[in-house]
Amino acid sequence: MQKKGDSSERVAKGIVNQLAAIIRTSQIHNPQNVAVLKSVDRLMELLTVVFGEESAVNLELVGEYFYLNESRIKVSMDQLINFDYLVHEYKKLGLGSITFGNDVTAEDIQAFLKAYLSAAFTDVPFDELAMAAGGISSISVAIPRVEKDTKEETDIRKTVKATYFNAVSYTKGVFEKIKSGEKANIKRAKRAVQSMVDVLLTEEELLMGMTAIKDYDDYTYHHCVNVSILSIAMGQKIGLSKSQLQELGMVALFHDLGKMEVPQEVLNKPTSFTDDEWKIVKKHPMWGVRAILNMKGFDELSIKAGIVAFEHHIYRDNTGYPDRRFPHDLDIFTRIVSLADQYDGMTSSRVYSRTPMSPEKALSLMMERVESQLDPRLFKFFVNMVGIFPVGTALMLKSREIALVYGANMSIPDRPRVLVISDTDGRKVQGHLVDLAEKDQDGTFKNSIARTLDPNKFKINLAEYLL
């Protein structure tokens, strides 16, 4: 099963790659160029693989992502340039999707390419393309599907919010149950995590945005849920299957379960720990293992959760805690959870007495520690995932407007999509979305980031805008 999923994923990525290559090369040379013809052949091979199981290949752009026959194509780092190129081409032409029927030939693709190139330079490129390509029965084009209307958008936000707060209240419930000596049921966590995985697969940015709001009460519960979300998102980036994401989300949710035994006054202490307090805090991994093994519904997953709870403060160079007699290799889930844990801890206010760090500062600190403490390869994925300017980062724009990062631009990490929340005179405005990758007609960027801001200093309530 897994193997089949992997290969269809590879084919889907290949199709995007080849299509981008064909369009790009034919723009430089001409559609009859040898390099173009070779790419067309390669595209044909890939399409044929899909035709083995489906009667057509529909390549649709929704937002910043491509979907092949309704399945989202994951973007990998090495293909970013081609992906982005094709995204821009689709947008330039006003294209929503291209569909190849299983009777398509290399000649049809070349004819389509000709139509494409001549349409690209007109004022109404989509209409021209649809007309010019009208004679090719095996290839059809469509405009983007109607954007989600505001009501639908509001409903999605509600679902995301409900999913997030459900998970928090479940976590709180488990902590309190265990604290009072009752047995909590691990199986009930599965539902909470299941819906987080589902939401993450479709509404990643919104759910990640929820983790950026750091001024909640009950830090510990939010922290567990945030670490779970960030871990699932990481898992998705490295290509874990849905059931693996579910497991990862579960073990991440329980990583700090042992903290319920650390006295509240220590946990929420506004100043640094004394040596004695540190000794207590350092016991939470072991206490976590004990609590997990005591839960109802103990199964194989409990063992995995126990391993991560035990290991999540052990570093790559074998320092950290708890003390161990022999060094050992850390579990892959631990390495993912540790990244999410450090990041969320540093960017939150209620952990170990620190004032919250800006996301960029947290990332640069993690960068310094990466060799000794973290997994350098996973860290690269992590940085790529949260972006240089993670969702929720407060920014001062060159125009003197204040804005919040709302979504990343995959290929131009320093030009995210932002929500402008105050005008050039510092007056609060109804938030409106601006894409910092947008250029003027003369090719210069319309607006740019001047610097990041500390939301606490500027009294920006992230929750107000992101929810």
- Contacting residues toward Fe ion, per CB under 5 A: 256, 341
- Closest distance of CB 285 from Fe ion, Å: 7
Beta carbon nearer to Fe ion, 320 or 387: 320
Print the SS3 string covering 426-441: CCEEEEEEEECCCECC
Q: Are 66 and 16 in contact (CB under 8 A)?
A: yes
- Closest distance of CB 287 from Fe ion, Å: 10
- Closest distance of CB 339 from Fe ion, Å: 11
For the record, the structure tokens of 287 come out as 């206490």
Beta carbon nearer to Fe ion, 237 or 312: 312
Beta carbon nearer to Fe ion, 31 or 288: 288
Beta carbon nearer to Fe ion, 108 or 256: 256
- Closest distance of CB 300 from Fe ion, Å: 23
- Closest distance of CB 327 from Fe ion, Å: 20
Beta carbon nearer to Fe ion, 149 or 323: 323
All residues at 6 or more sequence positions from 343 whose CB lies less than 8 Å from its CB, including other chains: 230, 359, 362, 363, 366, 382, 386
Beta carbon nearer to Fe ion, 42 or 369: 369
Q: Is the peptide bond before 390 cis (omega within 30 degrees of 0)?
A: no
Nearest residue to 176 via CA among 220, 229, 230: 220
Helix (H) or strand (E) holding 308: helix 300-311
What letter would DSSP give residue 149? Answer: P
Q: Scan for tokens 């995210």, then name that residue.
A: 416
> What is the DSSP secondary-structure string of 180-219?
TTPPPBTHHHHHHHHHHHHHHHH-HHHHHHHHH----SSH
Q: CB-based burial of residue 232 (10 Å sphere; 0-12 exposed, 13-18 middle, 19+ buried)?
A: buried
* Four-CA torsion 52, 58, 60, 66, nearest 10 degrees: 10
For the record, the structure tokens of 270 come out as 């506004």
CA gap 363, 384 in Å, rounded: 11
What letter would DSSP give residue 227? Answer: H
Beta carbon nearer to Fe ion, 43 or 363: 363
Beta carbon nearer to Fe ion, 206 or 357: 357
- Closest distance of CB 365 from Fe ion, Å: 16
Beta carbon nearer to Fe ion, 134 or 263: 263
Beta bridge partners of 419: 404, 433
- Closest distance of CB 429 from Fe ion, Å: 37
Beta carbon nearer to Fe ion, 38 or 172: 172
Q: Are 357 and 365 in contact (CB under 8 A)?
A: yes
CA gap 296, 183 in Å, rounded: 6
- Closest distance of CB 291 from Fe ion, Å: 13
- Closest distance of CB 219 from Fe ion, Å: 10
- Closest distance of CB 378 from Fe ion, Å: 17
For the record, the structure tokens of 174 come out as 């488990």
Q: Are 394 and 446 in contact (CB under 8 A)?
A: no
What letter would DSSP give residue 259? Answer: G
